[in-house]
Structure 1
Amino acid sequence: MEHRVLILAPFGRDADVIADVLAADGRQCLACLDSQVLATELAKGAGTAIVTEEALLTDDAVNLFAWLRQQPVWSDFQITLLAGKRVERRSARSIQVLEELGNVVVLERPLNSETLRRAVASSLRARARQYDSRGHLAESHQHLVERTKAQEALERLNDSLESRIAERTEELASANNRLMREIHERAKVQAVLVQSQKMEALGQLTGGIAHDFNNLLNVIMANAELIARISGDERIRSMAATTKRATERGAKLTGQLLTFSRTSNLNLRSINVITLLQGMHDIISISLGSSIKYTTVFEGDELWTRADANQLELAVLNLAINARDAMPSGGRLTIRAGARLAPDETFTSDRYVVVEVCDSGSGIPASVIARVFDPFFTTKPVGKGTGLGLSQVYGIARQAGGTARIESEQGKGTTVELWLPLGAKDMSEMKAAADPERSAAGVKRILVVEDDEDVRTMLVECLKTLGYIATEAPDGPSGLGRLAHDDPDLLMVDFAMPGMNGMEVIAQARKLRADLPVILATGYADVDISKLAEKGFTILRKPFQLDDLARAVRLGLSN
């Protein structure tokens, strides 16, 4: 009863369609006729509710708002509001409705069924955490009741037993101190859990829309590059180059923001730390704001190490945000990168790339600096931090074979150092990057399976520009049907498609042709590249440039 999904969609078949989508995940759903029925069912218990925006325009919506206002202290019931597509801004009444709903996630229709399922899953997990909090509060209340009873018993003791009273008072004081410490610790853990739930929900929502957004960027980027290559008009080529640069910046910023909000899969590879830090300049500057002066100092142009680029960006961004929070009135942030020898025998490598993040903030007290890398430890007020930032930074450095160190002095600032083993250039990657226009020997046929028509058209045009024969299919079954007729030398398939997804298409295709080379294209931010690569696929991340496509095709054909 407490984990069911209530649906308020009184017009058309929306309620039935939503229930069918969620039934695939085994969700218990109940369709409500109006807001009054919804409020009645909420009083009986529910995990989350899905409400269409037009259902709240009736007068009986006050019953729902009244129930939301009367929630117990442990409850913050989340509602998923399905809004219609808007051209103009929301009205004052519409904004007021959102305010009265409180904990609400707004999804604009039409929406992808996967987005709805993930939103519901996130809401139910958040509700489960609230039920846990309810249990903790009940336990705390029971402790307080027991303490009150003990105090009343103490008052009933005979006045002549002063020594026993004093002894019992001391015991109760000790128990009370322990109880207050437990309550304080529980409050801290609860704050961490709430923040973690928010970050998890954010990561799922951004991951859900990343695929479609990257597809849009890819179409713009590739067509701009094609225009620049085939046009003889210098003015048009200049405008195409400007468009391409803008889409590259959009793809880069989107990728960095998604890295901050998701749990990335580890993808260790050789990276140039200097290039990575230079590429982060925009997002760090935006995060710091205008009151903080941001500078960088790099030793040379290349410092190579083996790490996960996304995770390393996350670590540096975490440190920059921590530094910003330590300088509420402004200050200086300097990021340095250089090579150093191992300072002592605890380091396993001889030479290291050291990234220093130095701020002029308030500093950290010496009494707690030894604990700053501990999970859930934070010096910020409750609700202002999760205590996960520095522990994540330490974990990322350890995963890359290095470590993290910190020096701080109150009133002067803090310096955090990331020590990463110094490596050499990855010559195999440099070789793969050479001669991007060189095609494989002979004329090759490539079958493109992509459900998005614009992306599919763009891929076919790009492949033809590179000198390949390209055929296309709009979905998995069509692609499998064309496999025997087209006899392609390479199969390029999108990861996320309705009906049969990319992995299912590849599995069926390899039953027909076990030796068929495959390129798997994906716009999702959290796909585990390393596991897919182990299966013999060539992975192509969206959005990509024409040179990236050329390299991926050559690599796929060589496999």
Structure 2
Amino acid sequence: MTDANEARVLVHAPIGRDGPATASVLRRAGLDVQVCASIDEVLARADEGVSTLCVAEEGLFGEHLQAMAAWVACQPAWSDVPFVVLTSHLRQPAVEVWRQKMLAALRNVSLLERPVHGITLTSTVQTAVRARARQYEIRALLHARESAAAALEGIVLARTQELEAANDALRKQMKERALVEESLRHAQKMEALGQLTGGVAHDFNNLLMVISGGLQMFDRQPDQARRDRLLGAMRQAVERGAALTRQLLTFSRHQSLQAEPVDLLRQIHGMRDMLDRSLSGDIHVELRLPLSLWPVEVDANELELVILNLAVNARDAMPGGGTIEIRGENVADWAEGDLKGDFVSLSVVDSGTGMTDEVKARVFEPFFTTKDVGKGSGLGLAQAYGFARQSGGDVRIFSEVGQGTEVRLLLPRCLKPLVTQVSMDTAAVAAAGTDAHVLLVEDDDEVAALVSDMLTQLGFGSTRVASPAAALGALADGRQIDVVFSDIMMPGGMSGLMLARELRTRRSDLPIVLTTGYMGQEARAAETQGIPVLAKPYRADDLSAVLHAALAQGRGDTL
């Protein structure tokens, strides 16, 4: 259990009113906040106990960063204090170099560029506080395990002559220790989730783009049909965000699955685009699903996540490329163990490296993986097993070294009627005359539809393509394109940055603007090369400004 000091947030911003203002926002969110006047006071109070350090970057300049880095390096093994660092909008090379040095020194850092919205600040700090609370839980678990081990050793030594009593005590202590280790594994899973959340940041920002942009366009759109379409897109984005959240929660805790009748034909075929995006270009997916395949009663979102994880595992087992088959089969009157009745067999089959008997015996253990560090969490097959069992079925695995692997899900047949899906009205959108024509390169259909509407409202004409390769094809057709607006993260092996480089070779006079929901390495590389990058979510005014600036620069105008 943590004491009061270990639950507090320390704030240090030496210039202006950033410190008191930040503290006021966080206190309104119910956090225990203390403002420190100097870095020495921060370090002294942090030694007494701290949940999160919220520091303005100017408070870390010079020797202050060295002092803070030395304190970070002296933390115990279980501790990794989270920092929320408030940065300025400066982007000079020297500042960026210093920030990289600061990130390496402090290790567990979230950056927020000022001015920052109160909700963003509160959410980021609360996330850091929760992560720190899990660290304190791990500390308590480690202490409990050490105490249990010491108690066990004492009992064994004290009762050497009383073998039966000693064995009883040993079994009791082993059970207690297993509970402690299970709790520790759960805490480790939380840490793994913290690393995995960055992987879904792009998808969440795409959803936010649909919602925020749709709200901006709603009041500007007099046509009711277009308003209805905007509302429909925003609702669908909310549903997709909720589905992503449910998938993450399934990893983090034992969440009950929301079972419903599912048409496997429609569900698996509907995943085709997602599978193609998630797998490399040298992997071919074949669907072998008979039209007579029975429906099943499962959580549809969780089923998609299981199939995707199994497909990714199959891809990784075929480093030289190959074919992944997804097979379906009705199995009547199955009777084996506790499984009896009609089932549907759904298999993911690869022709990869296969598994040894030793690996097959452990594949369903959480966090067991044969992949290199950083290339797999070891949760995929364990999650598939948990999904199948909670759905009333089971998992079978068949594999031979050098012959490939088949992972077979057995899911109970559903006799309930399927839920009818209501399709959304997709009224046509009237085109408007423009002075400049934009080639929009965006793989997400909802984002593309919204941005196309934005461009129309802003007076631009637009042509949408879904990949960099299609963009190059459109330009080769001789279409009149004045500026290219492309997402950075794209499927098919060619990113938006690679497209920009190719366009500079082919059409050096053609302006290009990139956009992304994740300001990662490629976004920073684009900015370094002088390519404007618009971060998602953005406003229509931001889009207009960056496109006009790119067009003006392409013409050699002075802004």
Fold-level match, TM-score > 0.5? yes
- Confirm whether residue 82 of structure 1 aligns to residue 82 of structure 2: no
Task: Give 1:122 deviation, angstroms.
Answer: 3.1
Choose from 281, 284, 300 the match for 1:309.
300
Map 1:211-250 → 2, pairs under 5 A: 212-216=208-212, 218=214
* Whole-angstrom CA distance in 2 between matches of 1:255 and 1:132: 28
CA contact (8 A) 1:354 1:420 kept: yes
* Whole-angstrom CA distance in 2 between matches of 1:252 and 1:87: 36
For the residue of structure 1 that corresponds to 2:60, the secondary structure is helix
Measured against aligned partners, the alpha-carbon deviations of 1:367-417 in whole angstroms (never above 9, x if no partner) come to: 56466445x3624489766554333223333444x4132222341332222
Indicate how the Cα distance of structure 1 residues 294 and 209 shifts in structure 2: closer, same or farther if over 3 A, else same: closer
1:415 maps to 406
- Confirm whether residue 45 of structure 1 aligns to residue 39 of structure 2: no
For the residue of structure 1 that corresponds to 2:291, the secondary structure is coil
Choose from 312, 316, 319 the match for 1:321.
312
2:168 maps to none
Measured against aligned partners, the alpha-carbon deviations of 1:242-283 in whole angstroms (never above 9, x if no partner) come to: x9xx99999999787656544487444444323332333343
Gaps of 5+ in 2: 162-172, 428-449, 454-536, 538-559
Please tell me the residue identity of whatever aligns with 1:18. Answer: T
Indicate how the Cα distance of structure 1 residues 433 and 215 shifts in structure 2: closer, same or farther if over 3 A, else same: closer
For the residue of structure 1 that corresponds to 2:6, the secondary structure is coil
1:36 maps to 40
* Whole-angstrom CA distance in 1 between matches of 2:132 and 2:119: 20
2:463 maps to none
Indicate how the Cα distance of structure 1 residues 293 and 254 shifts in structure 2: closer, same or farther if over 3 A, else same: farther
Choose from 188, 191, 196 the match for 2:190.
196
Indicate how the Cα distance of structure 1 residues 73 and 428 shifts in structure 2: closer, same or farther if over 3 A, else same: closer
Choose from 297, 303, 306 the match for 2:288.
297
CA contact (8 A) 2:65 2:102 kept: no
How many residue pairs end up in the alignment? 411
Map 1:447-466 → 2, pairs under 5 A: none
For the residue of structure 1 that corresponds to 2:347, the secondary structure is strand
Please tell me the residue identity of whatever aligns with 1:131. Answer: Y
Deviates more, 1:309-318 or 1:108-117: 108-117
Measured against aligned partners, the alpha-carbon deviations of 1:446-504 in whole angstroms (never above 9, x if no partner) come to: xxxxxxxxx9xx9xxxxxxxxxxxxxxxxxxxxxxxxxxxxxxxxxxxxxxxxxxxxxx
For the residue of structure 1 that corresponds to 2:296, the secondary structure is strand
2:132 maps to 127
CA contact (8 A) 1:50 1:82 kept: yes
Indicate how the Cα distance of structure 1 residues 427 and 40 shifts in structure 2: closer, same or farther if over 3 A, else same: closer
For the residue of structure 2 that corresponds to 1:49, the secondary structure is strand
Task: Give 1:124 deviation, angstroms.
Answer: 2.7
* Whole-angstrom CA distance in 2 between matches of 1:334 and 1:349: 26
2:547 maps to none
Task: Give 1:95 deviation, angstroms.
Answer: 1.6
Task: Give 1:15 deviation, angstroms.
Answer: 2.6
Map 1:57-206 → 2, pairs under 5 A: 57-85=61-89, 91-135=96-140, 137=142, 190=184, 193-199=187-193
CA contact (8 A) 2:207 2:241 kept: no
Deviates more, 1:201-210 or 1:14-23: 201-210
Please tell me the residue identity of whatever aligns with 1:339. Answer: N
* Whole-angstrom CA distance in 1 between matches of 2:144 and 2:257: 40
1:550 maps to none
1:394 maps to 385
Q: Please, what TM-score do these two structures have when normalized by structure 1?
A: 0.57
* Whole-angstrom CA distance in 2 between matches of 1:325 and 1:382: 11
Indicate how the Cα distance of structure 1 residues 322 and 143 shifts in structure 2: closer, same or farther if over 3 A, else same: same
Name the Cα RMSD after superposition.
Answer: 5.6
Deviates more, 1:187-196 or 1:402-411: 187-196
Choose from 348, 356, 378 the match for 2:368.
378
Measured against aligned partners, the alpha-carbon deviations of 1:194-237 in whole angstroms (never above 9, x if no partner) come to: 3423415765995986773341464699899999989xxxxxxx
Indicate how the Cα distance of structure 1 residues 25 and 357 shifts in structure 2: closer, same or farther if over 3 A, else same: same
Tell which structure's C-alpha radius of gyration is larger.
Answer: 1
Q: Please, what TM-score do these two structures have when normalized by structure 2?
A: 0.57
CA contact (8 A) 2:334 2:341 kept: no
* Whole-angstrom CA distance in 2 between matches of 1:199 and 1:193: 10
Choose from 345, 354, 363 the match for 1:354.
345
Measured against aligned partners, the alpha-carbon deviations of 1:3-27 in whole angstroms (never above 9, x if no partner) come to: 2111122333333333233334532
Indicate how the Cα distance of structure 1 residues 339 and 363 shifts in structure 2: closer, same or farther if over 3 A, else same: same
Measured against aligned partners, the alpha-carbon deviations of 1:265-320 in whole angstroms (never above 9, x if no partner) come to: 74444443233323333433443334544433232397643433211111112222
* Whole-angstrom CA distance in 1 between matches of 2:97 and 2:292: 54
